[in-house]
């Protein structure tokens, strides 16, 4: 996690609810206003401004509130857009029915903006002969964001709709829709469980939403998680996050049918853009010896995982290596040496399992200039990898639109799969233990996302939506950082200090009563 050591030093709705709210705007009867197999007036340019029912579209409202849907100036690419807004509470749907479609899977893409605050604001594909599919609109008041939704069409017809169940003054914009063959979805819906073993050893327990105690790995898998991420330190002071614990937790992850992502820090403590300290055992080693150290350490851990039947599916060679790793030898001020260290780890991983995917991981996921500079250098130095992994915390790393711009660009520029390897969001601001939380002020939050279970749910949902929308199916997915790191005495942030506290428990996916929070259920979405 970005700057966790320095931050800690300085500061030393739920899926069910969301979908329930969405259902307040019940599915409306399809009125076949358009008997065509392609979208008509998909950019809302045909009528100019002020049209309540744009050409090719139909409008339905619960109480004659059709005027809450209208076209106005200011499109994403053209001169106009569709907007939903009213000075009083409203429920409205703008929709278009397509017929004559060949059966198969289709994807709706649209550019959207929303001021947030609605009971529900989403795009839907319904009456398609299969289960209705929805994508909620993220909160993005100034920048457009592209979202996608896919559905299986059976029977030749499908309704494309824009839906609002809104309070007075809530608004959304939609523009430039497309409906084409193809599917979307995320394969990586992950949870970083690095703190779990120590948490349990110090007495942590976990419960489902109803309050029944259970295995947190089972609970998260049941909510839809498909990947477990585990960090590896070399020789930490507390003895945790070593090969021993990784092997044990990997068995639990794989036993649930989940895949395994191993995150090598190449350090005894937190590695992030502000700290890439060599392990104490490697401190006096030359650059050449460090290359051997990296190879041997990587091979040792991964081969042990393979030997016990839990081969890593993906491996991070370094953690948040914006500025390199194993300073000073592996700093980005000396790219040939950094590339040599990276390639040592990559070679070891591939020697154990040629099918294991290699990820290179940076923080600051909204900083496209950083990623271009870094991966241009990696390419020039011949570093071979499969996945670009990002950390993206909205309260540090910028707007969701910046994340989308960066993901879209680097996926195309380097021809790689991309994923958010770390994200999280608070469900409350106060602390359960005596240690101040890293995010504990309303001024630190992302606009439109309150520190509440519903705000946490919306954040995870919308980050997943942005990754899913990466063109060409290159968006792999999202990993939630440390969802099981709850507040227990003895498992604080500092492995050298048993009395240190946890500044992260308000961003876990288990609440202060140890119950699974609703945000976890978004892992099951597509």
Structure tokens at 174: 């939609």
Q: How far apart (Å, rounded) are the C-alpha atoms in residues 150 and 133?
A: 7
Tell me whether strands 227-232 and 188-192 are parallel, antiparallel or unpaired: parallel
Residue among 206, 208, 205, 255 nearest 228 (CA)? 255
Which letter, b or e, does each residue of 437-469 get, where b requires 16 or more Cβ atoms within 10 Å of its Cβ?
Answer: bbbbeeeebbebbbbbbbbbbbbbbbbbbbbbb
Q: How far apart (Å, rounded) are the C-alpha atoms in residues 497 and 499?
A: 5
Chain centroid offset of residue 183 CA: 19
Q: How far apart (Å, rounded) are the C-alpha atoms in residues 75 and 43?
A: 8
Q: Which of 93, 320, 468, 505 is flagged as catalytic?
A: 320
Residue among 398, 387, 370, 379 nearest 466 (CA)? 398
Q: How far apart (Å, rounded) are the C-alpha atoms in residues 279 and 267?
A: 5
Query: Active-site residue 132, yes or no?
Result: no
Judged on CB neighbours under 10 Å (0-12, 13-18, 19+), 423 is buried
State the helix-helix crossing angle for 400-414 and 368-380, rounded to 10 degrees.
20
> Is residue 30 a contact partner of residue 159, using CB atoms and an 8 Å limit?
yes
Query: Which residue is it, tokens 């519903």?
Result: 454
Query: Active-site residue 72, yes or no?
Result: no
Q: Which of 45, 93, 329, 422 is flagged as catalytic?
A: 422
Chain centroid offset of residue 503 CA: 21
Query: For 143, how many CA atoms within 13 A lie in the half-sphere containing its CB?
Result: 11
Phi, psi dihedral angles at 68 (to 5 degrees): -75, -10
Q: How far apart (Å, rounded) are the C-alpha atoms in residues 205 and 506?
A: 16
Q: Widest CA span of the chain, in angstroms?
A: 76
Which residues, at least 6 apart from 97, have a Cβ–Cβ distance to it below 8 Å? Answer: 30, 31, 32, 33, 34, 35, 58, 127, 157, 158, 159, 160
Which residues belong to the active site? 320, 422
């Amino acid at each position: 996690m970005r700057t966790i050591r320095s931050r800690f030093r300085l500061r030393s709705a739920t899926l069910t609810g969301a979908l329930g709210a969405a259902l307040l705007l019940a599915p409306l009867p399809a009125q076949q206003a358009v008997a065509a197999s392609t979208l008509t007036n998909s950019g809302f340019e045909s009528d100019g401004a002020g049209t309540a029912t744009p050409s090719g579209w139909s409008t339905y409202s619960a109480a004659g509130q059709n005027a809450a849907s209208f076209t106005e100036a200011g499109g994403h690419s053209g001169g106009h857009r569709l907007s939903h807004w009213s000075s009083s509470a409203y429920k409205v749907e703008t929709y278009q029915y397509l017929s004559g479609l060949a059966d198969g899977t289709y994807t709706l893409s649209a550019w959207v903006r929303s001021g947030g605050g609605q009971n529900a604001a989403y795009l839907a594909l319904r009456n398609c002969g299969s289960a209705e599919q929805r994508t909620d609109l993220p909160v993005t008041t100034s920048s457009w964001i592209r979202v996608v939704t896919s559905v299986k069409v059976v029977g030749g017809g499908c309704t494309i709709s824009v839906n609002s169940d809104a309070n007075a003054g809530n608004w959304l914009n939609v523009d430039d829709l497309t409906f084409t063959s193809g599917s979307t979805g995320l394969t990586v819906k992950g949870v970083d469980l690095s703190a779990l073993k120590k948490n349990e050893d110090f007495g942590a327990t976990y419960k489902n939403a109803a309050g029944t105690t259970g295995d947190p790995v089972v609970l998260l898998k049941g909510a839809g998680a498909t990947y477990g991420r585990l960090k590896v330190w070399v020789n930490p002071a507390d003895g945790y996050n070593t090969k021993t614990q990784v092997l044990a937790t990997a068995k639990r992850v794989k036993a649930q049918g989940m895949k395994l992502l191993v995150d090598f820090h190449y350090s005894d403590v937190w590695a992030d853009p502000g700290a890439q300290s060599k392990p104490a055992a490697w401190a006096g080693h030359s650059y050449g010896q460090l290359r051997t150290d990296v190879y041997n350490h990587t091979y040792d851990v991964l081969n042990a995982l393979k030997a016990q039947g839990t081969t890593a599916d993906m491996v991070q060679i370094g953690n948040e290596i914006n500025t390199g790793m194993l300073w000073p030898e592996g700093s980005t001020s000396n790219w040939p040496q950094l590339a040599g260290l990276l390639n040592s780890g990559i070679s070891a991983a591939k020697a154990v399992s040629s099918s294991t995917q290699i990820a290179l991981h940076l923080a600051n996921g909204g900083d496209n200039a950083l990623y271009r500079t870094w991966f241009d250098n990696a390419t020039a130095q011949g570093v071979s990898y499969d996945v670009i992994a990002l950390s993206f915390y909205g309260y540090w790393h910028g707007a969701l639109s910046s994340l989308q711009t960066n993901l879209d660009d680097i996926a195309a520029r380097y021809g790689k799969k991309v994923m958010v390897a770390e994200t999280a969001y608070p469900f409350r601001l106060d602390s359960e233990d005596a240690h101040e939380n890293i995010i504990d002020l309303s001024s630190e939050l992302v606009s439109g996302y309150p520190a509440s279970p519903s705000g946490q749910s919306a954040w995870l949902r919308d980050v997943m939506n942005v990754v899913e929308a990466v063109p060409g199916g290159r968006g792999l997915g999202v990993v939630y950082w440390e969802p099981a790191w709850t507040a227990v005495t003895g498992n604080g942030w500092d492995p050298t200090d048993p009395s240190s506290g946890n500044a992260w428990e308000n961003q876990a996916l288990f609440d202060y009563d140890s119950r699974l929070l609703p945000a976890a259920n978004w892992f099951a979405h597509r």
